[in-house]
Structures are given as C-alpha cells and as structure tokens.
Amino acid sequence: MEYTTLGRTGLKVSVAGLGCGGNSRVGIGAGKSMAEAADIIRAAFDLGVTYVDTARLYGTEPAVGLALRGRPREEIVISTKSTIRVEGERIAPTQLAAHLDESLSQLGTDYVDVFFLHGVALPDYEYARDVLAPAILKERDKGKFRHLGITEPAANDPEQSTIRRAVDDPKCWDAMMLAFHMLHQTAREHVFPKTRAGGVGTAMMYVVRNIFSQPGVLVRMVQNLISEGRLDPDGIDPGDPLGFLAGSSESLMDAAYRFARHQRGADTVLFGTGNPDHLKANIESILRPPLPDADLTRLHALFGHLTGVGLDSPEHLRR
C-alpha cells in the first residue's frame, strides 16, 4: 500500500480508501449481513487500507464499528457524514449534533477523523457554511471529530457547482469529497488548483460507476452524447470509445482507478466492493503506475469538456 497526507489535516491515509456506500455498501447491497460486511472491511485493513468512509445514510456504520474491534483506533482514519436535510427540510444545528452522536454510537468510537456535511446542494451552501459549520465545530472542540468536510450531491449537481463554490472558502473546510472520472473531469480545472493552494484534502468518489463497470453502458452513453452534439465523433470509435486504453490497462476499471489516482490534487481514491477478490483487484489497480502520457492527452482532449456524465446514484437511493 502507498500512503499520502490528506491535505492540511495531517492525516496519513492510504491512497486507496474503502467507500462503504455506493451500490455495494460493502456487500450489504447484495444481501450480505453486517458481520459479512465487517469481514470485507477487515480484509481491506489487512491489505493496508487505513482510510474508511461511511455515512448515516448508508447503513454501514455498524459494520465499520465491528471491523474496528480489537484494532488500535489510531491506526484507522474514519470519515462519516450527515445530510443536512431530512424529509426535505433543513436540519437545525442541534439535529446535526445528534446525528454525529448517533454515528459515534453506531461506529463504537469516541471520535471520527473527518465529519462531512453530506451532499450539500448549492441553495443550501450558505446555510451549511454560516449556520451548521460554526455550530458543529463546537462538537469538534469537545473531541467528537477532528476535521470538518463537505461533499457534493454529484448525481444532482452535474456542473459541480457546490464544490466549485466551496473551494472559495477553503478555511471553512479541511476536506472535500467530489466526483471525478475519465468522462467527468471538470475538477481538473475548477477545483484541484484551489484545493491544492488552500491545503484542502480531497477524496475522489464516482471513480468507477456503471459507466465503466457494466457492459454496454459506456457505449450507449457515448453514442447518446454524440447524437446530442456534446461529443465530437472525430477520433472516437462509437463501438469501443475507450478501446485505445487496452494496450496500457487491464480493463476499463483499471484505467479509471489509475486515471483518478494519479491526478494532481487527488489525495485518496475511494472504491467500493462486497467481494474479497474485487477488493484486491481494485487496490492493485489504484497502486499501478499512471496511464501513459499519450493516453492522458487523448482522454483530456476527447472528454475533458464533459460534465455530469456517468454520475448515476446508488440504486438504494433511487427507490
């Protein structure tokens, strides 16, 4: 495993971070028990993963808590998250503090390393910054968490407007979680230069979703983009849009992980799985060298202008 520092937090994290949300939710999405999910998390620890991200919304905090038992707490960096709306209504600072306490109870720990305000939409941003953040920092001062962060509602914010607004307030946020992948590269220009300048830690999500993991999805999506005039067909094989990566990558997923991992400004790459074999393969991809410069140049030229592509919400959130 390789390790890096999560921005100015000073937290040493594995470059491969285990995400406990997404479709898999460490196996719970496929019917695994909480104990089986905890086994996946323990297997990740055994492979050197030291950063685990979860959230109240995912229902996986108890699995993380089980996996932590018997392990020195300081060896693992944990982040969890709370939405700032419940049933469509903005929550009060007291509710946010209660959510944090519930998460600590579910996790079986006295503190989390990063507490994220989860999926903040642009109309709620100032409320999050000016009302919720100052209030919840009082809980940080009590030792309940170490650093405050913000995440974007990626599937509902194709232009990345919340994060692009938040990077103008770097002193408020120690860490940010954002979507970034080969066909959604907007953060390269609009986010990473400012997070790097402000020392804000970054965690990449949506690096691999259905667009790269499910057969046929990429082809259909690219063909739709061409028909909509959002993609120039010149230089693109509509039947195999990323076929040019075959010579340097083992799979589309391998290329996707490496693309995100070696992007300047990306600290840690989140991956999710409920399968021990996939767990190992995902980590191996994240640890491989960068894609060749020629491939990167072509990816940037062909797809660098796209926004909001391949940001499908996890299935359990669409019901």
Query: Please, which residues bridge with residue 93 across strands?
Result: none
Q: pTM for the full model?
A: 0.94
Cα–Cα distance for residue pair 78/14, rounded to 1 Å: 12
Domain layout of the chain by residue ranges: 3-306
For residue 242, what are the contacts with CB-CB under 8 A and spacing of at least 6?
182, 218, 252, 255
Encode 173-191: b = buried (16+ Cβ within 10 Å), e = exposed: bbbbbbbbbbbbbbbeebb
Residues 133 and 151: their CA atoms lie apart, in Å, by 13
39 three-state secondary structure: helix
Please count the helices (runs of H) and the strands (runs of E) in the chain: 13, 12
What backbone phi and psi angles, to 5 degrees, belong to 81?
-145, 155
Asked whether the CA dihedral 274, 280, 284, 285 is positive or negative, the reply is negative
pLDDT at 318: 42
The Cα–Cα gap between 248 and 243 comes to 10
Q: Is the dihedral of CA 242, 269, 267, 261 positive or negative?
A: negative
Task: Scan for tokens 């990306």, then name that residue.
Answer: 266
Burial zone of 136 (CB within 10 Å; 0-12 exposed, 13-18 middle, 19+ buried) = buried
What pairing do the DSSP bridges indicate for beta strands 16-19 and 12-14? unpaired
Asked if residues 30 and 274 have their Cβ atoms less than 8 Å apart, the reply is: yes
Q: Which residues of the chain carry a pLDDT beneath 50? A: 316-319
- 25 contacts 61 by C-beta, under 8 angstroms: no
The angle at the Cα of 244, spanning 258 to 285, to the nearest 5 degrees, equals 20
d(C-alpha 173, C-alpha 228), whole Å: 37
Q: How many Å separate Cα 253 from the centre of its chain?
A: 15
Sequence letter at residue 229:
G
CA distance 296 to 312: 24
The span from the CA of 94 to the CA of 63, in Å, is 26
> What does CATH list as the number for 3-306?
3.20.20.100
Q: What is the DSSP letter of 283?
A: H
Reduce the DSSP state of residue 312 to 3 states and report it: coil
